[in-house]
Amino acid sequence: MTHKEIAISFLKLAGTGQVDEAFESFISSNFIHHNQYFQGTREALMAAMKEAHVHSPNKSIEVKFCYEDGASVITHTHVKQELMEIAVVHIFRFEGDHIAELWDMGQPIEKESPNEYGLF
């Protein structure tokens, strides 16, 4: 698998509740997560993803754009949940075939946005 394929597979598995499989298959044991709302550990992100799936399961996850440059992959993803839709950018850094670091930024999609081009 390419790094792009791994990043997309991770997002789809973890985002649809298959968190254990996603982490076991694709996340490095020395993983670092850069998100101001969580501790930066593998375990903290895993627990947060499991809890999020219980309280607000994703209806769908569609990767709109995906870019790869060496050990880095960037995705721009449309996440649909029951109560809202979100545009999310993930930045992955790989060590070999495993995700070693992850940055993520999300923005709720407003139905009444004045921008005629949308977020995608």
> What's the CATH code, domain 3-108?
3.10.450.50
State the DSSP H helix or E strand holding residue 32, giving kind and residue range, or none if neither. Answer: strand 27-34
pLDDT at site 95: 98
Per-residue pLDDT at 28: 97
Query: Could you read off the pLDDT of 16-34 as tens digits, one per residue?
Result: 999 999 999 999 999 999 9
Contact 1, 60 (CB under 8 A): no
Confidence tier at 12 by pLDDT (50, 70, 90): very high
Pairing between β-strand 27-34 and β-strand 98-108 as defined by DSSP bridges = parallel
Instruction: Give me the residue spans of the domains in the chain.
Output: 3-108
pLDDT at 49: 92
Q: For the segment 43-81, what is each residue's pLDDT rounded down to a tens digit?
A: 999 999 999 888 888 788 999 999 999 999 999 999 998
Among candidate residues 61, 72, 60, 62, the one with its CA nearest the CA of residue 4 = 72
What's the pTM?
0.92
User: How many angstroms from the chain centroid is the CA of residue 94?
Assistant: 14
Element (H, E) at 77: strand 72-81
